Amino acid sequence: MENFAFYNPVKILFGKGQIANIAAEIPANAKILITYGGGSIKSNGVYEQVKAALTGRNFLEFGGIEANPHLETLMRAVELIRAEGIDFLLAVGGGSVVDGTKFIAAAVPFEGDPWDILAKQALVKSAVPFGAVLTLPATGSEMNTNSVVTKAATQEKLFFASPLVFPKFSVLDPETTYSLPLRQVSNGIVDAYTHVMEQYLTYPANAPLQDRMAESILQTLIEEGPKTLADLHDYQARANVMWCATMALNGLIGVGVPQDWSTHMIGHELTALHGIDHAQTLAIVLPNMLSVQRDRKRQKLLQYADRVWGLSDGTEDARIDQAIQKTREFFEAVGVRTKLSDYGVGLDVIPLITDRFKQRGFIALGEHQDVTPKVVEQVLTLCA
Amino acid sequence: MENFAFYNPVKILFGKGQIANIAAEIPANAKILITYGGGSIKSNGVYEQVKAALTGRNFLEFGGIEANPHLETLMRAVELIRAEGIDFLLAVGGGSVVDGTKFIAAAVPFEGDPWDILAKQALVKSAVPFGAVLTLPATGSEMNTNSVVTKAATQEKLFFASPLVFPKFSVLDPETTYSLPLRQVSNGIVDAYTHVMEQYLTYPANAPLQDRMAESILQTLIEEGPKTLADLHDYQARANVMWCATMALNGLIGVGVPQDWSTHMIGHELTALHGIDHAQTLAIVLPNMLSVQRDRKRQKLLQYADRVWGLSDGTEDARIDQAIQKTREFFEAVGVRTKLSDYGVGLDVIPLITDRFKQRGFIALGEHQDVTPKVVEQVLTLCA
């Protein structure tokens, strides 16, 4: 096991009815801004629950944060907060709303152009405190320091992380997810699954507990994910997928082990250039990344094949092929297509992406830093 | 899954050499008290590492905190802290030192008799902040809110918990455990294993991720525990057992599921009355508790038999018997004896314990509140 530091002070309030408890988590005299997305919270009852919980409290609203939240939109919230003296934020929505709110929180007190937080990885020195009411299990943003924001003007999708943007609390009520469009439920399963794979499917680091915990999440997503699609009001299945998505990216399974993230880096470019949903890009790229990197990832691929898919017969390469195929089939089975052509994207996207990597100085990605633009090209060619 | 709240803000610094980083975690102008036990830290190099890390800082020392820390000893530290204006504690040692330091931290600002924190579960309203350098993986105290303290005068072993006694940070350096007596290494493995069992071996609550995470820790302890005894300087095995022990009782595997803890409650009495090591009492009681409660715990016992011990053939009761026997054999294999008679204790201890439970109003323990004094008697009879 490698040395590590772990710190995660997010308070989780999990289960039905927990929105009613948020007022106790927000300073009594706070001037609150509720941030949200396209308005689904107004039709599914979540908005009413939040308003009821904040009865007698001082709050304003800022809606319209889009999927892959736009810098341009978020900066309007920053201006509102500065003008109104807001001192607590409450993100109500999915990962995009939480990610966007993290950026807003860091941008408000930032001296200079907040875009530098993303483009130049400028240090975040303070942030407005915030909580979250999560309505879409997927990104893990509700219990981590990460945020991904898109500059619409230039189609750039970039991330930042800071311990100052841990949510103070996050409410995870599985019932708030009942009304999600199926596409978002499907995407969430694939997103969480891939988060685990980026931290697990590298090379052995003598960290058997982290390995088993990662496999535990994968197995549970495989078991519970389809249930959430078969019965939209299966509380237990929704609860289990929701908790899996949080545990997939709250830092714990990644302590003391190498991490990859090259699938995500390529996926972000596909989203930025073609607007493909984040999880869809992961479903396209991950299986082919595993295939291209099979020699570097051989031992963990065999472990994955055995422990997650029960594949222990046949040659090593046959087991690896089957495990990759099982992964692809699982993504398809939960409703996420796995080819670029399924989304009307051709291979002409490849030079655009490799050029962007070169421009940004991403010489090589992955746990061995050997996913060069040439490897990216190889992977994307298989994604056709 | 049941509703739950989870919050754990302890910063973990894990790995060799991490003691060198503690100064950055302690406020610059703090007046520090280093608390420790019988002095082993002075012979194994840990004390020197801590002193070197605190060069130029203002600190005093308080040694002599015993296993099953005594109220009487801890109150002497409380007086010293009050007299000297200490405002940060640094516990250096095993679970007893950390537990003792938690009590000290809560007792210093407590108005009234601090014994009430334990005996009357009086509310802890503030506590002196503290960090920990853990040298014995076992109790999980380094990443939770729990503390167990013994009043020597009356042979009472009681616990308290408060979110105010989370350590600010805990250093887990596996190398600090190399010089532990074998008995403590053995005890640590059994202690961590039983912590998991108390949260896992109850009844199904539709929490498959928590179940699998619990099984992950059990499997890893079974695999790595014996390695730490076979080669005293196996860094990776020490690291894995250390991380298992922390994860076993930092709250995560217990979220949203029923918990038992009756084995611990009985074990505490055996320690208080006969001075048997905590882990030894667990090794004595747990297998017999599982046996007596087999009907209430049937489904989880079968799951445990299958997933942890690979027992899937034979009648249900045969599998359960084998799983319990495997558990007992594992404890014996890592060096912890499993009968009362191994420790020179007879069955005359039974009425003493059941009387104490009645006195304290523990009408019934366990996840179903059906471990009555009569059941305790049944269990202890099997422990002969």
- State how far residue B328 is from chain A, nearest Cα, in angstroms: 22
Mean confidence (pLDDT) of chain A = 97
pLDDT at B310 over 90: yes
Q: Which of B11, B208, B223 sits opposite A5 (nearest CB)?
A: B11
* CB pair distance less than 8 Å for B6 and A12: yes
- Report pLDDT for A361: 80
Chain A, window 203-242: residues with a beta carbon less than 8 angstroms from a chain B beta carbon: 206-209, 212-213, 215-217, 219-220, 223-224, 236, 239-240
Mean confidence (pLDDT) of chain B = 97
* CB pair distance less than 8 Å for A12 and B7: yes
How far apart CA B366 and CA B264 sit, in angstroms, is: 10
> Which of A2, A6, A252 to mutate: most B Cβ within 10 Å?
A6
B240: which chain A residues are within 8 Å (Cβ-Cβ)?
A: 1, 206-209
B220: which chain A residues are within 8 Å (Cβ-Cβ)?
A: 208-209, 212
Cβ atoms of residues B252 and B7 within 8 Å: no
Q: Which of A376, A277, A295 shows the shortest CA–CA distance to A331?
A: A277
Dihedral angle at the C-alpha atoms of B282, B285, B289, B290, nearest 10 degrees?
60
Nearest-CA residue of chain B relative to A211? B216
A236: which chain B residues are within 8 Å (Cβ-Cβ)?
A: 1, 206
Collapsed DSSP state (helix, strand, coil) of residue B147:
strand
Note the pLDDT tens digit of each residue in B314-346.
999 999 999 999 999 999 999 999 999 999 999
Mean per-residue pLDDT, A274-298: 97
**From start to end of A17-129, where are the E strands?**
31-35, 58-62, 88-93
A212: which chain B residues are within 8 Å (Cβ-Cβ)?
A: 212, 215-216, 219-220
Record the tokens describing residue A37, joined without a space. 């997305």
∠ Cα B155 B160 B162 (to 5°) = 160
Phi, psi of B169 (to 5 degrees): -155, 155
Q: Which of B8, B12, B216 sits opposite A209 (nearest CB)?
A: B216
How far apart CA A139 and CA A259 sit, in angstroms, is: 17
Collapsed DSSP state (helix, strand, coil) of residue B93:
strand
* CB pair distance less than 8 Å for B16 and A8: no
- Report pLDDT for A155: 87
Q: Which of A17, A206, A209 sits opposite B217 (nearest CB)?
A: A209
> Which of B11, B18, B209, B216 to mutate: most A Cβ within 10 Å?
B209
* CB pair distance less than 8 Å for B12 and A13: no
User: What is the percentage of chain A residues whose pLDDT exceeds 90?
Assistant: 96
Note the pLDDT tens digit of each residue in B352-382.
999 998 887 877 899 999 999 999 999 999 9
Is ipTM > 0.95 here? yes
Asked if B6 has any chain A CB less than 8 Å from its own CB, the reply is yes
Cβ atoms of residues A340 and A346 within 8 Å: yes
- State how far residue B22 is from chain A, nearest Cα, in angstroms: 12
pLDDT at B108 over 90: yes
By DSSP bridging, strand B58-62 and strand B156-161 are unpaired
Record the tokens describing residue A207, joined without a space. 């960290």
- Measured on CA atoms in the order B263, B264, B270, B271, is the torsion positive or negative? positive
Least confident of A325-334, A357-366, B83-92, B155-164: A357-366
Note the pLDDT tens digit of each residue in B260-299.
999 999 999 999 999 999 999 999 999 999 999 999 999 9
Q: Which of B165, B180, B158, B87 shows the shortest CA–CA distance to B125?
A: B165
- Report pLDDT for A151: 95
Collapsed DSSP state (helix, strand, coil) of residue A93:
strand
Q: Which residues contact B289 (CB under 8 A, 6 or more apart)?
A: B262, B263, B266, B371, B379
∠ Cα B278 B283 B288 (to 5°) = 125
User: What is the percentage of chain A residues whose pLDDT exceeds 70?
Assistant: 100
Note the pLDDT tens digit of each residue in A63-99.
999 999 999 999 999 999 999 999 999 999 999 999 9
- Report pLDDT for B313: 95
How far apart CA A199 and CA A256 sit, in angstroms, is: 10
- Cα–chain-centroid distance for residue A74? 18
Collapsed DSSP state (helix, strand, coil) of residue B130:
strand
* CB pair distance less than 8 Å for B15 and A6: no
Mean per-residue pLDDT, A231-252: 98
Q: How confident is the model at residue B197 (pLDDT cuts 50, 70, 90)?
A: very high
∠ Cα B195 B198 B204 (to 5°) = 135
Q: How confident is the model at residue A369 (pLDDT cuts 50, 70, 90)?
A: very high
How far apart CA A132 and CA A34 sit, in angstroms, is: 9
Mean per-residue pLDDT, A218-239: 98
Nearest-CA residue of chain A relative to B224? A208
The DSSP letter of residue A342 is G
Mean per-residue pLDDT, B106-134: 97
* CB pair distance less than 8 Å for A15 and B7: no
pLDDT at B61 over 80: yes
B221: which chain A residues are within 8 Å (Cβ-Cβ)?
A: none
Note the pLDDT tens digit of each residue in A34-52.
999 998 999 999 999 999 9
A217: which chain B residues are within 8 Å (Cβ-Cβ)?
A: 209
**B148: region left, alpha or beta (phi > 0 left; psi from -120 to 50 alpha):** beta
Q: What is the CA radius of gyration of chain A?
A: 20
How far apart CA B31 and CA B81 sit, in angstroms, is: 10
**From start to end of B86-231, where are the E strands?**
88-93, 130-134, 146-151, 156-161, 169-172
How far apart CA B342 and CA A297 sit, in angstroms, is: 49
- Report pLDDT for A44: 92
> Which of A134, A209, A312 to mutate: most B Cβ within 10 Å?
A209
How far apart CA B301 and CA B294 sit, in angstroms, is: 7
Mean per-residue pLDDT, A184-190: 98
B247: which chain A residues are within 8 Å (Cβ-Cβ)?
A: 209
- Report pLDDT for B363: 75
- State how far residue A122 is from chain B, nearest Cα, in angstroms: 22
Name the amino acid, one letter, at B79. E
Note the pLDDT tens digit of each residue in A90-120.
999 999 999 999 999 999 999 999 999 999 9
Core vs surface per residue B261-293: b (16+ CB within 10 A) or e: bbbbbbbbbbbbbbebbbbbbbbbbbbbbbbbb
Mean per-residue pLDDT, A345-349: 96
- State how far residue B236 is from chain A, nearest Cα, in angstroms: 6
